[in-house]
Amino acid sequence: MDSNTKANKRRHLDIVVSGIVQGVYFRLTTKAVADQLGVKGTAQNLPDGTVAIEAEGDAFALDAFLEWCHEGPERAVVEKVVAVEGEMKNYRNFEVIRKSRG
């Protein structure tokens, strides 16, 4: 079936989460959720106070992951989530990036 093939196809999303999302364990909790769902990629704090996430997985995992991004961990206050399809980078795991590079 065509819908089955699409569901199994891996995709890449570039996600930016805005609100009170730094200093509330957002990146670490994101990694735990990603690991549970089998999502690969990265999460890092940006200087503007947002969290940038690159996520790769199948449609089901990414849908669940995005749903979680709208909630965040207990102390977070998520105001906005922007997700854009991007080019696959074939991440092997999910990594929290501690410092902004550059």
Question: Annotated catalytic, 45?
Answer: yes
Q: What confidence category does residue 46 fall into, taking pLDDT thresholds of 50, 70 and 90?
A: very high
98: in domain: no
**Set 10, 11, 27, 93: catalytic member:** 27
pLDDT of residue 2: 46
What pLDDT was estimated at residue 97? 96
Q: Is it the case that residue 1 has pLDDT exceeding 70?
A: no
Residue 71 to residue 94: CA distance in whole angstroms: 19
pLDDT top residue among 15 and 100 = 15
User: What's 16's domain CATH number?
Assistant: 3.30.70.100
pLDDT digits (tens, 9 = 90+) for 58-97: 999 999 999 999 999 999 999 999 999 999 999 999 999 9
Q: Is residue 36 part of a domain?
A: yes
Q: Establish whether 10 is a catalytic residue.
A: no
User: What are 15-32's pLDDT values in tens digits?
Assistant: 999 999 999 999 999 999
Strands 40-45 and 94-97: parallel
Residue 28 structural domain: 2-89
- Among residues 4, 8, 45, 90, the one annotated as catalytic is 45
- The candidate with the shortest Cα–Cα distance to 63, out of 45, 37, 90, is 37
